[in-house]
Amino acid sequence: AKRNGVGIYPETKHPTYFDSIGLSLEEPLVATLGANGWSSKRAPVFIQSFEVANLIDLNRMTEAALVQLINSTGKPYDFVVSGDPRTYADMTTPAGLREIARYADGAGPNKNWIVPRDSANRLLPPTSFVRDAHRAGLVVHPWTFRNENSFLPEDFRQGNPASPAYLGATGNAPAEYALFYELGVDGLFSDNPDTAVAARSEWAGKRGGRDGD
């Protein structure tokens, strides 16, 4: 990553489970970042997790940026284990986002928390998630964007729905990216980063702004 001038975005997956078997993730991760000089706020690093307690621990262990992932349903697994009644939905409220800001630098929500879909997979009006998160001082990195029709709302699907190749065909993914860029997301997760960057450049050009604004 250093040789190629890019950052990293590691995820601490299932930290409660790994703690339970004596394989804590946080210490070796922090040690590796430190050994490579990537422990400061300015380091090109975001550490992400769907759980909460380990991000709180990491907040005491490193200055690297932390991102609270937010799933579309359910609750963080450490909340399940501890009996905490809060859900991911609770974390998307203004109060929930302010709580996240106490230990993390960003929120990584399922993109449907920003632009919901109805039962027919059509887009509903955007929520206030981005505005609320920004007011709490958090950056917003939604997930996961993909090019295929099967992952897009009906509004952006392309081709013949009767074709057996329809769901796997490429839809109008650039339109979905443009929608989220216009709503003010600070970054996003994509399985097709070439499409994401090209769509960002096109969107920025139409706005008369600089690429990457």
Mean pLDDT of 154-182: 97
Averaged confidence pLDDT in the chain: 96
Residue 210, pLDDT > 60, answer no
Length of the chain: 213
Cβ atoms of 154 and 121 closer than 8 Å: yes
pLDDT of residue 105: 98
Residue 211, pLDDT > 90, answer no
pLDDT tens figures, 86-114: 999 999 999 999 999 999 999 999 999 99
pLDDT of residue 207: 82
pLDDT tens figures, 128-156: 999 999 999 999 999 999 999 999 999 99
pTM to 2 decimals?
Answer: 0.94
pLDDT band at 115, cuts 50/70/90?
A: very high
pLDDT of residue 39: 92
Residue 208, pLDDT > 90, answer no
